[in-house]
Structure 1
Amino acid sequence: MEEQADDRVYNVVVNDEDQYSIWFADRALPDGWRAEGTGGSRQECLDHIERVWTDMRPRSVRERLAVD
């Protein structure tokens, strides 16, 4: 089966726990998410997330462990 080209524009989004995802640029963001500032193709956004999201633990876990 032949894959269709994905020419849609995406935005990198982040939630209050500093978890990253991508979202269609032409759609309203879901509750609890905000635009991170990076947009482009699906692969460009995924590549950016791979570079910047180096600690996959939710922020609340990181903060709790930092106190101990």
Structure 2
Amino acid sequence: MSETQMYQVVVNHEEQYSVWAADRPLPLGWSSEGTTGSREECLAHIAEVWTDMRPLSVRRVQG
């Protein structure tokens, strides 16, 4: 991928985050979170917002 490749932050139903190439179709089960930029910018955003790595279903049970 080129240095100008744009990425987006994606999230699944368990509120798990990932980085995905912005020019590719989203994988099944994932949706755009709204943040786009370089890979590093997207990873920095994920580090800020994804503070509890447990899947949503586990957080609901454990409280």
> Normalized against structure 1, the TM-score is what?
0.88
| Structure 2 partner of 1:60 | 57
Of all paired residues, the percent bearing the same amino acid is 60
Secondary structure of the equivalent of 1:38? strand
Runs of 4+ displaced beyond 2 Å: none
| Structure 2 partner of 1:12 | 9
Residue-by-residue CA offset, 1:6-32 (whole Å, 9 max, x unaligned): 220000000000000000001100000
Extract unaligned runs of 5+ from structure 2.
none
Extract unaligned runs of 5+ from structure 1.
none
Aligned length: 63
Question: Which structure has the bigger radius of gyration?
Answer: 1
Query: Could you tell me which amino acid in structure 2 is paired with residue 36 of structure 1?
Result: E
| Structure 1 partner of 2:19 | 22
Q: RMSD of aligned C-alpha atoms?
A: 1.3
